[in-house]
Amino acid sequence: MNSFSYEYKFSYQLKHASYSVQSLPSCAFPETTLDSGELVLLGTNKNKNTSTKSKLLLASIPSEDGIAKLREKPQKGKTGFYTCESLSDMIRKRRSVSSKWQIYNMKFMPQNPLQVACRNEQSEILFYDLTKASDDTNLIEKNIWTLKGLGSCGYGLSWNASLPGMLVAAGHDNTICIWSVLHSIVNSDTIHPLSTFRIRRGAINDVCWHPFYDFVFGTVDNSGKLFIWDVRMNGDGEFALQSNTTNSEIMCLSFNPFDQNYLATGDIKGNVAIWDDRNLYRPVKLLQYHSSEVTQVVWSPFYEDLLASAGSDGHIILWKIGNWMKSHSGTDDLPIEVEFIHKCSKAVTGISWSASSPLRILSVSEDASFELTKFNYNVSVIGILY
């Protein structure tokens, strides 16, 4: 514990709640300025029983240089870290797309971050090309393609990091579809899947491509199983590996971007599990601190043994995965892997590590708050599991 401390925290109240947030690479935006800031994808959702539309929002927030200028005359909070009640003067809208559906999840294509796939309350997935818009343009039903094949809504959505335009998604109807988006958008505004997979029963809660193998992805479902799939084994119910059934529904997963063997999952009871895909008999480590559902797990893109988890208990927890190998002589009642606990006002619905600034996290909560938090690292990082 105490490997981290706050450097700063900024918050902004969105007009409507968001279920998803994602940081984009700094080089993604074509119209550059001296300090264009960090690009962020947000999905704000309409209120029920109103005519308000949901929005897919691409915005820019201050870079580290921009934050440094803001902190020349900081307001110092009671907890001793730099804080600001509002980001309203620092957020610039770059793109805005209206939607009549609730936005559940969205992911940018790694090879072209301004091309975005979006999950909503319908079974179809929408693919947006935001490169053709100009600032502050409200796009409605333009530059949109529809991906068909799933039979129900869901959350699972993942782009292949090696193959441009290769998208996998899963629904609550036990179906998984893979599309090659870039090969299909020229001739039609409707895209059909290249491959379809199915689990025998249960709803699939999340899906993720493997960062090292472009033919492998993982899924987790409400029966408590983790599956590793190989697209070369096409067919219903054909998977490469599966875990034993756990004691609770698994909600999310994330592969480690530095080590090809390790991945993390989060379940409905608040457990974060670390798995070695060479042996899925049981997790190599179970991390327990969240008091309710883990909504997302995300490995740091800069540190191989640093994992962030978000929960409906309002906590964002930083875990240092190598810590269980070290002796623990303190008196804390926290698991020794817990390095920092950041408390939000309500259930956390989405988190994202900054793509350009190490130890900076973006988060959204069910009370429509958007937070930008930067941590200080007080000790060196050790290698994963060693």
Which domains can be identified in the chain, with CATH numbers? Answer: 4-15+104-377 (2.130.10.10)
Q: Give residue 135's pLDDT.
A: 46
- Token pair belonging to 67: 């934050």
Pair 66, 118: CB distance under 8 Å: no
d(CA 351, CA 258): 20
Q: Where are the alpha helices (DSSP H) in the chain?
A: 64-70
d(CA 351, CA 297): 8
Across 241-293, where does the E strand assignment appear? Answer: 241-242, 250-255, 262-267, 271-276, 285-288
- Token pair belonging to 54: 């949901």
Q: Which amino acid is at 235?
A: G
Q: Give residue 286's pLDDT.
A: 92
Low-confidence ranges of the chain (pLDDT < 50): 32-34, 78-82, 85, 135-137, 140, 325, 327-331, 380-386
- Token pair belonging to 247: 């004691």
Q: Give the angle 35-40-44 at the CA atoms, nearest 5°.
A: 140
d(CA 37, CA 33): 9
Q: Give residue 386's pLDDT.
A: 32
Distances (CA, A) of 236 to 181, 197, 198, 214, 233: 22, 5, 5, 20, 9
Q: Give residue 53's pLDDT.
A: 77
Pair 26, 41: CB distance under 8 Å: no
pLDDT in tens, 307-334: 999 999 999 999 998 765 454 444 455 5
pLDDT in tens, 23-69: 998 765 655 444 568 899 998 887 766 666 788 888 888 888 878 77
Tell me how crowded residue 202 is: count the other CB atoms within 10 A of its CB. Answer: 16
Residue from 91, 47, 51 nearest 70 by CA: 91
Q: Which residue has the tokens 């008091």?
A: 291
Residue from 157, 128, 124 nearest 58 by CA: 128
* pTM for the predicted model, two decimal places: 0.87
Q: Give residue 210's pLDDT.
A: 97
